[in-house]
Every structure is written in C-alpha cells, then in structure tokens.
C-alpha cells in the first residue's frame, strides 16, 4: 500500500485516563519494560535492561535538552499572554542560537494572541540569581501556524539560554493536565541531556540512570549520541483521514562524524535506537547519504529530508555502509566533524528500517505518528503489544513505562 493512503483510524486504541502517568516514579529505572521479540512478549524493568541486550551492541541516545520554553507575560491591564518558544526563526544550529546575546527572533505559539495589540511591547521583570533581568517581547509577524516574536533583554550580555532559565518554565506535554512542579525540572530531562533546544523531552531516555549506564559497560555494550531537538509537533495527532493529507513536523538535528564512523564500521553488529527521535535521526542519516551519492556536490542547505522523499530514494537500493561512507566523505571534503540538518521523515507501516535492530520507546497516543513508528517496526503485532500493556496496567505516555521492541525483518 502507498503510505499516503494509510487510514489513521486503523491505528487507534482506547487509552483509559487512569493509565496515563501524570507524575514520574520515584526511581527512574523502576519503570516496567515490555520486551517484544520474535512475536513473543515478556516483561522486566529498566534496571535489568542490559540483560536483554547482546554484548557489543551500540545504543544510540538523543542528548537534546528541554528548554524552559513557556513564558508568561502580564499586560498592564492584568491580562496574561503566554509565549511558547518553538525554534529560531532562521538558524539550523539551535544550540548556537541559544547562546545569542541581547535579542533573538523566535518562532512561537501565543496563548491570548487576540489580546496582544500590534506595536505593544510586553515586559517581564525577573529577579535572577545574581541580577534583575528585563525581558521584552515584540510581535513581528503572524505565519500560518506560528508567530515570529522578537525577544530582547537587559543586561544584553546574558545568553538567551540564561534568560529562558530565569524567565521560563518547563513545558509539560498537553496531555499532562497539571502545572509543572519543581520535580519536573529534573525529571523531565534525561540524565545525559546536554544541548538546549527541545520543547519536549525524548521520553524513552527518562528511564536511564547512572546505574543502568554502568551496567552496559560491564557487558561491553557501547553507547553514543545524536542530537535531535524535539518540536511541539511531536504531540500533534494526525487529524486527516489519510496520511497523504498530513504534514509531518520538521525537526533539526546534529550528528558527529565519530558516530557515523561507528555505524559504518564492522565491529557494531547490533544497533538499538533509544527513542523514536533517535530512530528518525538515524534513518534520516541513511537517506541523506543516498542524496550525496546522487549528487556529490550537493550544498549543505539542500542536504535535508522532506516528508515523502525516502519513497523516491528507496528505488536506488543503496547499501547502508555505502551511504555512510558517502556522507563521511562529503563531511571530510568540507572539514566538518559535526553534521547539521533538518528532517521531515515520516516512518509508517511498510517502511523498512535500515539503521537499527531494535527500538526502546514509551507507549504513545492513539492516532499519532509515534504509534505509526511502532506499527512500522512490529507490523500488526503493535496491537498485541498495546493490548498486553493495557491489560497488564502499564503506565502510558511521557512519564510512563516503556518497551524494547526488536524489529521484525
């Protein structure tokens, strides 16, 4: 079937409200782990994850960090305007954008936009840890699905990351119907989070602790990182009847040449993607390598992946390692140790995963593109997996339990 003809109503289930995890468990690695392999389901918990992973495997994590993207401004009349910072207006390297000083142009969502008159500058005074900060927001332009907002501040020598840390709040997913609390500042970040830029956590990684990471070392299980900055679009349900009418959200990512060399090497026999964002990044790397083989002089700004582009590129039948070597050569020719790009890749049932042998992931919302990824790697057994999780009272969504799903070949 053409993936554009897939009916989203075929990928739904009933999620009882009592199985949504509103808060994290006291211990990260105490979360339950459903294990799916060769059609069979078993369960354990994350503390014992290493016993289910073969020696010499490579786990790939997403080390993005959630920024305090939600800022509340109060108008002189008392009305509240909420600004939800999404991403820079025109810059692929979000990490560099977070270090900007004095002012930035940012794509935002606005709560109460109708109350914000054109030309009106919103102000917010913050008593920072060491000094008072004055943050101003100026309405620049309305786009189809977001606003362009200029944010400026004093002292101007502060970085935008520092200002957000003082002025903003961690944005919890929309299905967690409560205000963020102090516990979320720690628990809605992975322990290895490094690069600011996401508005949602890569939740598959929330279960990992230093103890779990140390257990990998004892069994010669390696790990490395990609950075994909998770956008608000990750929570958007598919509202169209068929996928052909759904526009997949685009997300920025960066990957090191070191990781690509590992993936291209002969030593790694098993690759496990920790999270759908990591899988999406790894798969995008493959297709971008194919694009380089198709045009060795392709410009960096053209080396991005559109939603359905993989369908056309798949006809070229390029081996995985050949794609890796092509991308490495492209980077070496430009003396790049880090590769920045943007992906709109949608992974649907019928898609053949190239880059991973298994996926570690949480339990996702009905009719979501994340659930489609599970259906892509498990086939019709996605229903079996979710029925088991529901019947056995697993906790669902961002703060919930998770699964290790070995990909059906």
| pLDDT bucket at 92, cuts 50 / 70 / 90 | low
Q: How far is CA 27 from the centre of its chain?
A: 23
318 and 193 in one domain? yes
Cβ–Cβ < 8 Å for 64, 195: yes
Q: 153, 172, 150, 171: which is closest to 162 by C-alpha?
A: 153
Specify the 3-state DSSP secondary structure of 216. helix
Give the chain's domain count. 2
Looking at 168, 197, 229, which one is the last position of a domain?
Answer: 168
331 and 273 in one domain? yes
User: In whole angstroms, how far apart are CA 327 and each of 262, 263, 332?
Assistant: 13, 12, 9
218 and 342 in one domain? yes
**Residue 181 domain-assigned (yes or no):** no
What does the pLDDT look like over 106-120, one tens digit per residue?
Answer: 999 998 888 887 778
What does the pLDDT look like over 5-52, one tens digit per residue?
Answer: 999 999 999 999 999 999 999 999 999 999 999 999 999 999 999 999
What does the pLDDT look like over 317-344, one tens digit per residue?
Answer: 999 999 999 999 999 999 999 999 999 9
273 and 128 in one domain? no
Average pLDDT, the chain: 93
Specify the 3-state DSSP secondary structure of 224. strand
**Residue 178 domain-assigned (yes or no):** no
Q: How far is CA 178 from the centre of its chain?
A: 22
**Phi and psi (nearest 5°) for 325?**
-60, -35
**Residue whose tokens read 């489609």:** 372
**Residue 82 domain-assigned (yes or no):** yes
**Residue 175 domain-assigned (yes or no):** no
Looking at 168, 199, 228, which one is the last position of a domain?
Answer: 168
212 and 134 in one domain? no
Domain that holds residue 153: 69-168
Q: 345, 350, 229, 231: which is closest to 287 by C-alpha?
A: 345
What does the pLDDT look like over 245-262, one tens digit per residue?
Answer: 999 988 999 999 999 999
The answer to whether residue 58 scores a pLDDT higher than 80 is yes
Long-range contacts formed by 386-395: CB under 8 A, 24+ apart: 386/13, 387/13, 388/34, 388/41, 389/34, 389/363, 390/13, 390/14, 390/15, 390/16, 390/19, 392/43, 393/19, 394/19, 394/32, 394/34, 394/363, 395/19, 395/20, 395/21, 395/31, 395/32, 395/363
Q: Which H helix or E strand runs over 283?
A: helix 276-294
Looking at 133, 168, 203, which one is the last position of a domain?
Answer: 168
390 and 267 in one domain? yes
Burial 151-179 (b: 16+ CB within 10 A, else e): bebeeeebbbbbbbbbbbbbbbbeebeee
Alpha-carbon span 191 to 274, nearest angstrom? 14
**Phi and psi (nearest 5°) for 222?**
-90, 165
Residue 193 structure tokens: 């989070």
What is the mean pLDDT of the segment spanning 91-100? 81
**Residue 335 domain-assigned (yes or no):** yes
91 and 41 in one domain? no
356 and 293 in one domain? yes
**Residue 183 domain-assigned (yes or no):** no
Residue 14: exposure state from Cβ atoms within 10 A (0-12, 13-18, ≥19): exposed
131 and 50 in one domain? no
Residue 43: exposure state from Cβ atoms within 10 A (0-12, 13-18, ≥19): middle
**Residue 184 domain-assigned (yes or no):** no
Regarding beta strands 64-66 and 338-343, do their DSSP bridges make them parallel or antiparallel, or are they unpaired? unpaired
Burial 336-375 (b: 16+ CB within 10 A, else e): eeebbbbbbbbbbbebebbbbbbbbbbbbbebbbbbbbbb
Alpha-carbon span 405 to 37, nearest angstrom? 6
SS (H, E, C) 349-390: CCCCCCCCCEEEEECCCCCCHHHHHHHHHHCCHHHHHHHHHH
35 and 102 in one domain? no
What does the pLDDT look like over 264-317, one tens digit per residue?
Answer: 887 788 999 999 999 999 999 999 999 999 999 999 999 999 999 999 999 889
73 and 61 in one domain? no
**Residue 134 domain-assigned (yes or no):** yes
Alpha-carbon span 58 to 56, nearest angstrom? 7
CATH (domain of 350): 3.40.1780.10
95 and 35 in one domain? no
């Amino acid at each position: 079937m053409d993936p554009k003809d897939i009916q989203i109503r075929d990928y739904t289930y009933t999620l009882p409200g009592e199985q949504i995890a509103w808060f994290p468990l006291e211990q990260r690695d105490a979360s339950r782990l459903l294990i799916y392999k060769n059609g069979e389901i078993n369960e354990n918990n994350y503390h014992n994850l290493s016993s289910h992973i073969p020696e010499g495997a490579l786990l790939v994590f997403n080390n993005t960090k959630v920024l305090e993207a939600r800022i509340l401004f109060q108008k002189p009349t008392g009305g509240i305007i909420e600004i939800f910072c999404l991403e820079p207006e025109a810059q692929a390297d979000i990490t560099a954008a977070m270090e900007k000083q004095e002012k930035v142009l940012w794509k935002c969502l606005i709560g109460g936009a109708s109350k914000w008159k054109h030309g009106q500058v919103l102000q917010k005074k913050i008593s920072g840890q060491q000094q008072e900060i004055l943050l101003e927001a100026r309405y620049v332009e309305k786009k189809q699905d977001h606003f362009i907002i200029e944010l400026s501040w004093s002292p101007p020598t502060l970085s935008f990351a520092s200002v957000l840390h003082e002025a903003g709040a961690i944005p919890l997913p929309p299905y967690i119907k409560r205000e963020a609390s102090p516990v979320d500042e720690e628990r809605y970040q992975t322990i290895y989070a490094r690069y600011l830029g996401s508005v949602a956590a890569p939740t598959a990684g929330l279960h990992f602790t230093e103890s779990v990471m140390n257990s990998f070392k004892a069994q010669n299980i390696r790990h490395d990182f990609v950075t994909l900055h998770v956008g608000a679009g990750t929570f958007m349900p598919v509202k169209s009847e068929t996928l052909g009418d759904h526009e997949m959200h685009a997300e920025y990512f960066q990957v090191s040449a070191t990781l690509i060399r590992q993936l291209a090497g002969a030593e790694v026999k098993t690759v496990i993607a920790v999270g759908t964002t990591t899988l999406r990044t790894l798969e995008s790397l493959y297709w971008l390598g194919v694009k380089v083989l198709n045009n060795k002089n392709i410009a960096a700004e053209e080396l991005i992946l559109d939603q359905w582009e993989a369908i056309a590129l798949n006809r070229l039948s390029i081996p995985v390692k050949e794609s890796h070597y092509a991308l490495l050569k492209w980077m070496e020719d430009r003396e790049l140790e880090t590769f920045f790009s943007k992906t709109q890749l949608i992974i649907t049932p019928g898609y053949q995963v190239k880059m991973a042998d298994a996926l570690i992931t949480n339990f996702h919302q009905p009719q979501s593109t994340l659930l489609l990824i599970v259906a892509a790697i498990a086939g019709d057994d996605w229903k079996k997996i979710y029925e088991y999780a529901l019947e056995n009272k697993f906790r669902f969504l961002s703060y919930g339990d998770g699964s290790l799903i070995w990909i059906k070949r």
